Structure 1
Amino acid sequence: MKVLVTGRGGQLAWELEQTKADNIELISLGIEELDISDQQQVNDVFTKHAPDMVINAAAYTAVDKAEKDKETAYAVNELGSEYLALACKKLNVKLIHVSTDFVFDGTKTTPYQTDDKPNPINVYGASKLAGDIKVNDILGSDATIIRTAWVYSANGNNFVKTMLRLMAEKEQLGIVYDQVGTPTWAKGLAKMIWALAEQEFISESRQLTADSRILHWTDAGVCSWYDFAIAIQELAIEKGMLDKSIPVRPIPASSYPTPAARPSFSVIDKATAEQASGVETIHWRKQLSAMMDELKQHEAS
């Protein structure tokens, strides 16, 4: 199976490269080789490589910057998704399209289901939703849309690595306690996507509908950003990645204003994705520990 992955250099694309099976012929392209907001470039890449499947891990993800850079956010997240979907449609290629929990407004108090009505509260979320709609309208059941949240990896910039750096530099930190969700180790997400891709390629068993299949995926469990930060520090001390602990104070989001509003509740229900992929979610703290072991090993080598 020949699979084209967009967004090379990003956390998910990197983990997809690390976890692919031997029978996968992987073509991973970054923005230098494939700017998905350039329709001609998209068409040329599809003609050249003729993939069996595309995993779209490319996105404009600068949430705060998007508030002032709306045109670029929509060019990548909406138009880029549209161009990929059109190319997939033309060549009869299946698409796995990665989306976000930010399509929701965060006003629920129970996990978001795949059929809950989106209502984004920032430009990033709105631009991603616009892309999801284009994918659905163009490809229908030939596309799977996977919403995820709070992604981190040993590769790239993310909350875990930022916390480790700040905890080594600062005397104390204040971390938001009233935004709740679930972290996602990109390696776990990648493994689930590969399981799904394999099933998509070898089986046509799922019922065909006019709409794309929507799945939700994060690790298991629930936490706030404050809880996440506390766990990072505890594990880092335990693993010898930090010399000492510092005070970490819980603060309300109102004390840390950002250009883009964030959902206060971002927990999403993973049951449908587990059933579809045959992969079970693992608790976020266990995944965090495994990622930090990997990070420590990389830094030592």
Structure 2
Amino acid sequence: MKALIIGKSGQLAHELRDEQPNNAEVLCLGRDDVDICSVESLDNAITRLSPSVIINASAYTAVDKAESDEDAAYAINQHAVENIAKLANKYSIRLLHVSTDFVFDGQQSKAYLVDDNTNPCGVYGASKLAGEQEIQEHCPENSAIVRTSWLYSSYGNNFVKTMLKLMQEKPELGVVCDQIGCPTSANSLAKFLWKLTEQQSIVPIYHWSDYGVASWYDFAVAIQNIAFDEGLLKEKIPVKPIPATSYPTPAKRPNFSLLNASESYFIESSAHWTVQLKQCISKLS
């Protein structure tokens, strides 16, 4: 198997390289290697490398910035995805594309199924949904959209690293307690994506998150407790629950975006998010 990972500098791409199967030749392209907004540039790269699988780990993920940078968000999250989908279809390449829980509006109170109605509440989620629709239109066969939530890793910039930094700098923190979802290790997502490359047939949409449920406040408290136990933090600070209304942001976020990933667990087993978090923090320490 020859796998092409698009978006080589992100946390997921690093985890995909760490977890690559023994039988996989892995090629990674970033913005210095290919312009995914150009069909010609992308076509040249794909014909030169001739992969059997493409994993699209590239995305515009600055949720708040997207509200004022709409063109850039749609360029990466929709139009570039359209290019990738068309070429994957043209050359009969399996395409795995990573999407987000932000395609949902967060108005329901039970975990979202893959066929639940989408209704994004901000530019980021809307642009990611538009990318999903491009795949379904231009590469409906041998492709899968994998929605995930609250992704973090020992690589890159993410909530875990931000919290660890703030916990060493601030006397106390207030963290939103009324937005509910599930923290997901990019490492576990990488393992699931590699499993999908091996499946004889795949379905159009999967949900992947680690097991369990949490608020951002729960997540922050767990980060501090585990990091203190691991010796990464010398002392604990007060972490206080606050409502989202006390922390206004340019982008509205779903209040509840838990994904039902039970079908995906038949393909790759999952651990509770606290177990995955401990592994990540152990790696950092």
Give the TM-score, by structure 2 length.
Answer: 0.98
User: In the alignment, which residue of structure 1 is the partner of 2:277?
Assistant: 288
Question: In the alignment, is residue 106 of structure 1 matched against residue 106 of structure 2?
Answer: yes
**Partners of 1:35 and 1:67 in 2: CA distance:** 23
User: In the alignment, which residue of structure 1 is the partner of 2:212?
Assistant: 221
For each residue in 1:7-65, what CA deviation from the matched residue of structure 2 results, as whole angstroms up to 9, or x when unmatched? 10101111000100121010011111123222211111111111101000000001001
Alpha-carbon deviation of 1:218? 0.6
User: In the alignment, which residue of structure 2 is the partner of 1:172?
Assistant: 172
User: In the alignment, which residue of structure 2 is the partner of 1:131?
Assistant: 131
**Partners of 2:26 and 2:176 in 1: CA distance:** 39
**Partners of 2:44 and 2:148 in 1: CA distance:** 29
User: In the alignment, which residue of structure 2 is the partner of 1:209?
Assistant: none
Larger fraction in helix: 1
Kindly, what percent of the aligned residue pairs are identical?
Answer: 48
After TM superposition, where is structure 1 displaced by more than 4 Å over at least 4 residues in a row? none
Question: In the alignment, is residue 270 of structure 1 matched against residue 257 of structure 2?
Answer: no
**Partners of 1:122 and 1:244 in 2: CA distance:** 37
Give the TM-score, by structure 1 length.
Answer: 0.93
Which structure 1 segments of 5+ residues have no match?
207-211, 297-301
Alpha-carbon deviation of 1:141? 2.8
Give the letter aligned to residue 245 of structure 1.
K
User: In the alignment, which residue of structure 2 is the partner of 1:257?
Assistant: 248
**Partners of 1:140 and 1:39 in 2: CA distance:** 19
User: In the alignment, which residue of structure 1 is the partner of 2:235?
Assistant: 244
For each residue in 1:209-260, what CA deviation from the matched residue of structure 2 results, as whole angstroms up to 9, or x when unmatched? xxx6100001000000000000011111111111110001100000000000
User: In the alignment, which residue of structure 2 is the partner of 1:149?
Assistant: 149
For each residue in 1:69-109, what CA deviation from the matched residue of structure 2 results, as whole angstroms up to 9, or x when unmatched? 10010011000110000111111111001000000000010
Per the alignment, in what secondary structure is the counterpart of residue 140 of structure 1? coil
Alpha-carbon deviation of 1:294? 0.8
User: In the alignment, which residue of structure 2 is the partner of 1:299?
Assistant: none
Give the letter aligned to residue 239 of structure 1.
E
**Partners of 1:120 and 1:31 in 2: CA distance:** 27
**Partners of 2:112 and 2:141 in 1: CA distance:** 22
Give the letter aligned to residue 114 of structure 1.
V
User: In the alignment, which residue of structure 1 is the partner of 2:32?
Assistant: 32
**Partners of 1:258 and 1:36 in 2: CA distance:** 30
User: In the alignment, which residue of structure 1 is the partner of 2:184?
Assistant: 184
User: Which residues in structure 2 correspond to 1:68-107 (within 5 Å)?
Assistant: 68-107=68-107
Give the letter aligned to residue 155 of structure 1.
Y
